[in-house]
A and B are shown apart, each in its own frame.
Chain A
Amino acid sequence: MSTMRQYFEDVAKHLDSLARPGETIISALSAEESDFIRFNQSKVRQATAVKQAAWTISLIRGQKRLDARVNAAGNLAADRPALASLVAQLRGAIDDVPDDPFLLFETSPATSSAERPAKLPAPAQVIDEVLAAGKGVDLVGFHASGPIWKGFASSQGVRHWHEVESFNFTWCLYHGRDKAVKTAYAGSAWESAALEAKMRFAREQVARLGEAPRDLAPGAYRAFLSPAAMTEILGMLSWAGFGLKSRNTKQSALIRMADQDLRLSPLVTVRENTREGIATGFQSEGFVRPAEVALIEQGRLAQPLVSPRSAREYGTATNGANANETPESLDLASGSLAEAQALEALGTGIYVGNLWYLNFSDRSACRLTGMTRFASFWVEDGRIRAPLNVMRFDDTAYRILGENLEALTRERDLLPETITYGERSTESTRTPGALLKELALTL
C-alpha cells in the first residue's frame, strides 16, 4: 500500500469515528505531486513543482447536507485535528441549512481500487531531452508529470481508491507566426526513443508549413477532421449535450434530438466508456460508474448522463455521472475508412489538424462555430498542396455529424485531457477522424 493510500485510509477511519448517530460523513481526497515544465523557443520558460492535497467533507443529517473543501498537509498528525475541527464546524452550522429533497449518496458498503504505477522521467531528464530535441527549431510546449490520488470514503462503509502515475507532454514546432505542428506524447512509461520518433515526424511535418499559405473564401468545402479536431467537436456536445438536467430543462444542445427525434448519421455511436478510459471508476457521491453508458446509438440519442441529484429530482436511477453530467471518458466508435486513405478519400478540400475555441452560435440548433488551428492544409487530388490560413467555421452538429458525415476512420486516438485547472485532469476522449462532404466556412 502506498504512503498516500495509507494516509487516506487512516484519515477516512478517523473521520468515520467522528460520525454521531443519525449522521453520515462523506470524505473525498484529491491529491497530486506534479512537475510542470513550460518551454518556449526551445528553452525553459517556467518550471514548477506542486504538492497538494484537498479533502471535501460532507456532513449529512436527515435531509440536510453541508459540504466543505479544505486543503490539507497530507500527513495524519497535522490533518487529524484540522479535519476534526472542520467536522465540528459543519455540525454547528448544519441546522441552518434547508432540507435537500434531492439528496442522494451511496449507502451500500462498497469498495474499489485501481492502481496504475508508471515509469516517470525525472525533471532533469525531461529538460535534457526536450532541449536536445528542440535544437535548431522553435519548440514551445508543456510537460506535466507525477502521481494523482483520488479517494472516496463514507462512514457507511464505502471505500474507493484511484492512484495513477502518468506524464503528458504536448508541444508545437513553429514555422512562424501561427503556423505550427502540434504533437502529444502521453503515457505511463517515458521512452526516449518514442519521444525522438515523434519529434522526427513533427520536424518533417513542419517543413510543409514553409510553403505559401492558402487563403480560402467563405463557403462550403469538403473536409477531413483529424482526431484532435474531432475532440473539439465532441467537447462541445459534452459541455451541454448529454446530461439529464440539461435535457429536462430544454437547455441541452441536443434538445432537438431529444424532443423532435432529429438524428445524426448512423455512423455516430458515442459512449461514456469508463472501462477503457483513465478516469476514476466512482463519482463524488460514491456511486460506481458502469463500464459504459450509451449516449448516442447509431445516430439516435440514447441514455442521458444522470447524476445522483438529477436521479432524485427526476425520479430515475443514477448512472454514476458527475454533478455537471458531463462525460469523463468519451468514446466515439470507429468507422471503416483507413487513416492512410483519408487524403485520397478527401480528394480536394481541407485537412483540419486542429480546431480551436469553439462555442455555440445557436445552442438550440446545436450550431457551432470555431477556428482552424495549427497544421491545417489545402488538399487537391489527395495531395497536400499548401498550409491554410486560419478560417472560421459555423455549422450545425446535425450537418457535421449528420447528413455531411461521409466516413469515420478505422483508427482512433486516445487523447488525455491536457487542461490542468486547479488540478490535473483524468478525463479523456477516444475518437476517430471524420470525412465530411462539406463544412461551412464563414470568415
Chain B
Amino acid sequence: MLDTLQRDFRSLAPAVDFCALRFVEETSEYLAVRQDVAEPPKLSVNSGAMVTVIDRGGLGYAATSDLSKTGIAEALDRAREYARLTAGRSVMDYGAVEMPRPHGEYRSPVGRDPAKLSRKEKYELLAAEAKECRVDDRIVDWEANLWTTASKQAYFTADGAEAVQEFHFLVPNLSATAHAKGETQTRTHAGRYNGYCKQGGLEILDAFGMKGAGRSVGEGALELLAAPNCPSGKMDVLLMPDQMMLQIHESIGHPIELDRILGDERNFAGTSFVMLDMFGTYRYGSELLNVTHDPTRPEQYASYGWDDDGLPADKQFLIRKGILERPLGGAISQKRAGIAGVANTRACSWNRAPIDRMANLNVEPGDSTLEALIGSIQHGVMMRTNVSWSIDDSRNKFQFGCEWGRVIRNGKLAEVVKNPNYRGISATFWRSLSGVGDASTFEVMGTPFCGKGEPSQVIRVGHASPACRFSNVDVFGGAA
C-alpha cells in the first residue's frame, strides 16, 4: 500500500520548490471494565495523508482520507493553490527554509506483543483488578481500562526522501471513587488522565503493576475520604514524578515553545512570558534545574526517529544549571526566529499541519535520595498524582492540584491529606527548586492529551522526572 501511495504521489507531484506527503495509519483498541461490567470494545483505524507544497515563498497543506490517486491529486491541487494564495503574504518566505530530507526507519521497541494476549484475556485481567477496587460499599465507582495503539507513519518528499516509522503505545489505567457524607474522592493508579503512557508492549503492564493494584487503589480512595484537608500557608512541597510531569509540561514546556513566543498561538493557546532575547542568559530556575528535550529515550511516550518535517531526533539541553539555553522549535520556527531549536515540529494526525510541540521533555535526575528530600523538610507536603491544572495565557501564574498529599513534619512523613493544591508564578517558582531526587526517584510518565493549535490538535507528550523539592510555596486545601 505504501509503495502504491509513494508511486502515485511522486507521479503527481507538481513542479514546485518543495513537495512532501505524510501518511498516517493508526489502529487502536480501547477496553474498559466499569463496575464489574465489560463495556463494548472501541476499535478504530484512523488513516489518511497530508501533502505539503512550498512554492515561491508560499506554503499550503491539504489532507485527505481518500488515498486513491484521484484523492492525492485533489489534495496536491488544494495545497498548491494555498501556496499560491499565501506567497508573499505569509509570516515568512517559506522558500528560505531548508526542509529536511530524511531517510530510514524507526520502530518502537516492543518486548511482548499486545496481540499475544487475546481480547478475552485482556478483559479478564481488567475485570479481576477492577473487582478488587471495591473494598467496601463506600466505593461508588471503579474502573480498569487498557488502550493500545499501533501507528504507522511514512514521509516522502517528491525528490526522493523517505522515512517510515512504526510506533506502539500502551496506556493502562485503574481508578476508584469513594463517597460518604457529601464528600467524594477519587484515587487512581497514575492519574485519571492517563499519566502512565509509554511506547512498547505488554511489559508496560508489568511495570505499571496492574496485577494487584486494584485493592490499593480502592483503599487509597477511602484513605482520602477519611483525610483532613491539606493545610494552607507557605511551606515546602515535595512533588513526586506524577505531579512533576504536569509542572514541567505547563510551566516549562509551553512557555518555551517557539511558535508561542513568535505569536502564532495568541488567538487560542496563548503567548509566553519568555522572549527571544532570554535564550542563553535567563535564569529560569535554580542551579539544580537541568531540563532536556529527548525524543530518543526508547520507552518514552513521544519518542521518534524524525519529527513531522523530517528533522532527525536528538537529545538537547534546554535548561542547564538553571539557565535557559534553547527553545522548543522545529525547522520552520528556527528559521523565522534565527535561533537553534530541536526536532519537535509535530502533528497529532494526518489531518492537521505540524506545529511546535513538546515531545519528551524531562527533568534530569539530581543526587538526593527520597529519604534525604523528606528529611530536609521541616514543614511541608508531599504531593502525588495531578488532578487539576490552570495557568495564564503567558504561562506564568499557575494553580495545580493533586489527588493525594502527605504532610511532612520535622523531616518525617505524617498524616495523609486530601485536596492538596498550590499556586505560584513560573518565572519565580523554578528558582525555588531546592532539592532534586536521584535516579532511584526518577519515573517516566506522559500525557496523551496535550491540546494546542488552530485547528485544534491533541498530541502525545512524554515527561520523565525525579521527585523535586520546592521551598516556600503557597499551599492550600479544598472546601468552599
Q: Which residues of A contact B (CB under 8 A)?
A: 34, 36, 38, 40-41, 43-54, 64-75, 78, 93, 96-98, 100-103, 123-124, 127, 131, 138, 140-142, 144, 170-172, 174, 177-178, 180, 182, 249-251, 255-256, 259-260, 356-365, 367, 369-371, 373, 390, 392, 394, 396, 398-399, 418-422, 424, 442-443
B161 interfacial by beta-carbon distance below 8 Å? no
- Closest beta carbon of chain A to B367's beta carbon, Å: 33
Q: A40-B263, A361-B421 are in contact. Are A371 and B393 (CB under 8 A)?
A: yes
For B89, the chain A residues whose CB sits under 8 A away are 43-44, 127, 131
B278 interfacial by beta-carbon distance below 8 Å? no
Give chain B's interface residue range (CB within 8 Å of chain A).
Answer: 35 or more
- Asked whether B451 lies within 8 Å of A421 as measured between CB atoms, the reply is yes
- Asked whether A178 lies within 8 Å of B37 as measured between CB atoms, the reply is no
- Asked whether B390 lies within 8 Å of A249 as measured between CB atoms, the reply is no
Closest to A72 in B: B65
Select one of A103, A357, A365 contacting B391, CB under 8 A: A357
Closest to A78 in B: B68
For B451, the chain A residues whose CB sits under 8 A away are 421
For A41, the chain B residues whose CB sits under 8 A away are 91, 263
- Asked whether A361 lies within 8 Å of B264 as measured between CB atoms, the reply is no
For A394, the chain B residues whose CB sits under 8 A away are 399
- Closest beta carbon of chain B to A398's beta carbon, Å: 7
- Asked whether A361 lies within 8 Å of B353 as measured between CB atoms, the reply is no
- Asked whether B390 lies within 8 Å of A255 as measured between CB atoms, the reply is no
- Asked whether B456 lies within 8 Å of A420 as measured between CB atoms, the reply is yes
B48 interfacial by beta-carbon distance below 8 Å? yes
- Closest beta carbon of chain A to B153's beta carbon, Å: 15
Select one of B71, B74, B82, B183 contacting A48, CB under 8 A: B82
- Asked whether A68 lies within 8 Å of B267 as measured between CB atoms, the reply is no
- Asked whether A127 lies within 8 Å of B85 as measured between CB atoms, the reply is yes
Closest to B451 in A: A421
8 new A-B contacts at CB < 8 Å, known A45-B91, A51-B62, A127-B89: A50-B351, A73-B71, A127-B85, A174-B263, A259-B182, A358-B390, A422-B349, A443-B425
Task: List 12 A–B pairs whose Cβ atoms lie within 8 Å, in order of A's numbering.
Answer: A44-B85, A52-B63, A52-B64, A53-B65, A68-B44, A68-B45, A75-B66, A96-B118, A100-B40, A124-B85, A250-B141, A390-B392
- Asked whether B454 lies within 8 Å of A420 as measured between CB atoms, the reply is yes
Select one of B268, B394, B419, B458 contacting A362, CB under 8 A: B419
In the bound complex, what is the Cα–Cα distance between A418 and B59 (angstroms)? 24
- Asked whether A44 lies within 8 Å of B90 as measured between CB atoms, the reply is yes
Closest to B63 in A: A50
For B264, the chain A residues whose CB sits under 8 A away are 38, 40, 45, 140
Q: Mark B52-90, 1 if CB is under 8 A from A, else 0.
A: 000000011111111110010011001101100110011
In the bound complex, what is the Cα–Cα distance between A38 and B268 (angstroms)? 11
- Closest beta carbon of chain A to B174's beta carbon, Å: 16
B372 interfacial by beta-carbon distance below 8 Å? no
- Closest beta carbon of chain B to A40's beta carbon, Å: 5
- Closest beta carbon of chain B to A311's beta carbon, Å: 15
Q: Mark B79-114, 1 if CB is under 8 A from A, else 0.
A: 101100110011100000000000000000000000
- Asked whether B399 lies within 8 Å of A363 as measured between CB atoms, the reply is no
- Closest beta carbon of chain B to A20's beta carbon, Å: 19
Majority SS of interface residues in chain A? Answer: strand
Q: A96-B118, A127-B86 are in contact. Are A51 and B389 (CB under 8 A)?
A: no
- Asked whether A369 lies within 8 Å of B61 as measured between CB atoms, the reply is no
In the bound complex, what is the Cα–Cα distance between A392 and B393 (angstroms)? 11
In the bound complex, what is the Cα–Cα distance between A418 and B425 (angstroms)? 29
- B158-214, CB < 8 A from A: 177, 179, 182-184, 186
Q: Mark B380-420, 1 if CB is under 8 A from A, else 0.
A: 00000000111111100101010000000000000000010
- Closest beta carbon of chain B to A173's beta carbon, Å: 10
Select one of A34, A50, A259, A419 contacting B456, CB under 8 A: A419
B465 interfacial by beta-carbon distance below 8 Å? no
- B217-240, CB < 8 A from A: none
For A357, the chain B residues whose CB sits under 8 A away are 390-393
Select one of A52, A66, A421 contacting B40, CB under 8 A: A66
For B456, the chain A residues whose CB sits under 8 A away are 419-421
For A49, the chain B residues whose CB sits under 8 A away are 60-63, 75, 78-79, 82
Q: Mark B458-480, 1 if CB is under 8 A from A, else 0.
A: 10000000000000001000111
Q: A178-B394, A390-B397 are in contact. Are A47 and B65 (CB under 8 A)?
A: no
For A371, the chain B residues whose CB sits under 8 A away are 390-393, 397
- Closest beta carbon of chain B to A93's beta carbon, Å: 7
For A51, the chain B residues whose CB sits under 8 A away are 62-66, 71, 74-75
Which of B186, B264, B267, B479 neighbours the largest number of chain A CB atoms within 10 Å of its CB?
A: B267
In the bound complex, what is the Cα–Cα distance between A430 and B322 (angstroms)? 47
- Asked whether B78 lies within 8 Å of A66 as measured between CB atoms, the reply is no
- Asked whether A47 lies within 8 Å of B60 as measured between CB atoms, the reply is yes
- Asked whether B179 lies within 8 Å of A250 as measured between CB atoms, the reply is yes
Closest to B30 in A: A67
- Asked whether A47 lies within 8 Å of B59 as measured between CB atoms, the reply is yes
For B399, the chain A residues whose CB sits under 8 A away are 359, 361, 369, 392, 394, 442-443
- Asked whether A47 lies within 8 Å of B61 as measured between CB atoms, the reply is yes
- Closest beta carbon of chain B to A255's beta carbon, Å: 6
- Closest beta carbon of chain A to B474's beta carbon, Å: 8
- B263-314, CB < 8 A from A: 263-264, 266-268, 270-271
In the bound complex, what is the Cα–Cα distance between A46 and B268 (angstroms)? 15
Q: A47-B82, A102-B37 are in contact. Are A69 and B45 (CB under 8 A)?
A: yes
For B150, the chain A residues whose CB sits under 8 A away are none
For A369, the chain B residues whose CB sits under 8 A away are 388, 390, 399
- Closest beta carbon of chain A to B32's beta carbon, Å: 11
For A421, the chain B residues whose CB sits under 8 A away are 451, 456-458
B5 interfacial by beta-carbon distance below 8 Å? no
In the bound complex, what is the Cα–Cα distance between A170 and B401 (angstroms)? 31
For B391, the chain A residues whose CB sits under 8 A away are 357, 371
For B474, the chain A residues whose CB sits under 8 A away are 443
In the bound complex, what is the Cα–Cα distance between A51 and B49 (angstroms)? 10
- Closest beta carbon of chain B to A137's beta carbon, Å: 13
For B458, the chain A residues whose CB sits under 8 A away are 421
- B434-472, CB < 8 A from A: 451, 454-458
Q: A93-B119, A96-B119 are in contact. Are A74 and B65 (CB under 8 A)?
A: yes
- Asked whether B263 lies within 8 Å of A140 as measured between CB atoms, the reply is yes
B362 interfacial by beta-carbon distance below 8 Å? no
For A424, the chain B residues whose CB sits under 8 A away are 455
In the bound complex, what is the Cα–Cα distance between A44 and B87 (angstroms)? 9
- Closest beta carbon of chain A to B128's beta carbon, Å: 14
For A390, the chain B residues whose CB sits under 8 A away are 392-394, 397
Closest to B421 in A: A361
